[in-house]
Structure 1
Amino acid sequence: MNWQARPKIFTRTTRSPDKTQRLGALVSTCLKPGDCLAFSGVLGAGKTTFIRGLIQNLIGTSYTVSSPTFNIVSVYDQGPFPLWHADLYRLENKNEWQELGLNETQEGVSLIEWPEKAADFIPRSTLWIQFEPHSDLLALTFSGSEEWAKRLYPLNAD
């Protein structure tokens, strides 16, 4: 299921990579083990920048966070729960998803870039974030369940 098929929760805009990273840090405060977040958007849209802010807020800014394009999955277990950061861009078929072991990450949080490559395996409870770059800003549309809407409410209250 893709982000368009989920109820829209809200859209936020950022005007710099630093603000995108800060938004990721804010979202990290709403996470709990078992969560799955899916990040969609064109190459260079800001997905990894957002994820960097999220991960570094949980494990510390001294850790380097980059897109796991070539190794496909990076695991960060220095924080309150494990974080599985997957970049599915190089997956050649959706069945490779099962080989990655991401369906066995209930004790941690899964952060999935290019989820369209394995859409059949993405949990229904996933929070989808669509990145839409424009000339002077980045629009991030959050879509998901009513539970996600409640958990993210503080971020949308302003």
Structure 2
Amino acid sequence: LLALVLATLTTNLAANVVAPANGFSNLAPGKISFRMGGYITAGIGIAIFPWKLLESTGAYIFTWLIGYSALLGPIAGIMLADYYLIRRTELDRDRLFRHDGAYRYKGGWNPAALVALVLGVLPNLPGFLKAAGFVDSVPAIFETIYAYAWFVGLAIAAIVHLLLMKLRRN
């Protein structure tokens, strides 16, 4: 039993703590060490109550998985629209990583992509709040939208990103 517990702990530490700890330490290298990044990761891990998510299959599927897909769908929509529809699969690799390159936008952030992300996530928010137990009820349409969160978010974000980028070019 001890070997099983140790194997689980060491696997999860290597797989789930190192990357976010590095990410947090890279946000502010002079202020956040790798160790502090690990502590931040552990704090967030406790704050999301993983034992509540695994309490039942419904909580895991409808709260965590669909909630996560409500965020990933819009990101995928933005990336697909940008690469296939806006750039037509052509990237200027020389200018891709330059601070003054074509992909820099405003301080390294693409406002059109940020607006598209927010608008892609918003329709799923009421359904998520109900699934997570923050509100007791929402109109039935929001529950239906939330059931298809990835597809809804992908479509809305892709369309909004495409339109905003076309407006930006004109």
TM-score by length of structure 2 reads 0.22
Q: Which has the higher helix share?
A: 2
Between structures 1 and 2, the one with greater strand share: 1
TM-score of the pair, normalised by structure 1: 0.23
Higher relative contact order (CA 8 A, sep 6+): 1
